[in-house]
Amino acid sequence: MTQEIEIEYKNLLTKAEFERLLYSLPFPLSGIKQTNHYFETKDFLLKENGCALRIREKEGKYQLTLKEPHPEGLLETHDWLTDQEANSWLDGHIIPKENTEKQLLEKGIALKKLVYCGQLTTVRREIQYLDVLLVLDNSTYHDQEDFEFELEAKTRETGLQMFQHILSEHHIQNRETPNKIERFFYSMKD
């Protein structure tokens, strides 16, 4: 099964803070565009289980990912989709995929209950920095734009220490930061 544990720290940024990190750290000046297509049930069973389901479209490839809580961070379960399968999902015709379907069924969530909710597009810049992955994201969704700094690490201790160091060094306030899917669904309430 294609699974991984994701240990990440994130912080929303102002545009000025985003630019400060972009030009202070060795990020590439241009980023890679990716689009997240989000799914949920009408009665929000994924959210109720602390989960999120998306198809990420990046460089002509489609990856279906289920994120669910894990003691060390988030457990991500992946399946690759063909162009035809991805378009089928987006049109409301869900094609079963072995890994994600198994995880969803363990939570009592049937594929037929899933509905497509919309998309969030991000221009992402990534760099390996010391022993972590640093990410700068500029995202747009529902006529909104936001800026975010993410840090992915192999351990919580390493990640938290480096995350706090970078924020402090660049005079950036540590902010409570909902993940992208939470921001996406929250913006639909406006």
pLDDT in tens, 123-137: 999 999 999 999 999
In this structure, the strands spanning 52-58 and 61-70 are: antiparallel
The pLDDT tens digits of the residues spanning 32-81 come to: 999 999 999 999 999 999 999 999 999 999 999 999 999 988 999 999 99
The confidence score (pLDDT) of residue 188 equals 84
Predicted TM-score (pTM) of this structure = 0.92
The pLDDT tens digits of the residues spanning 145-179 come to: 999 999 999 999 999 999 999 999 999 999 999 99
Concatenate the DSSP letters of all residues of 2-49 into one string.
-EEEEEEEEEEE-HHHHHHHHHHTT--SS-EEEEEEEEEETT-HHHHT
> Alpha-carbon dihedral of residues 3, 81, 51, 181, nearest 10 degrees?
120
Contact 121, 140 (CB under 8 A): yes
What CA–CA distances, in Å, run from 74 to 32, 33, 158?
A: 24, 23, 16
158: amino acid identity, one letter: T
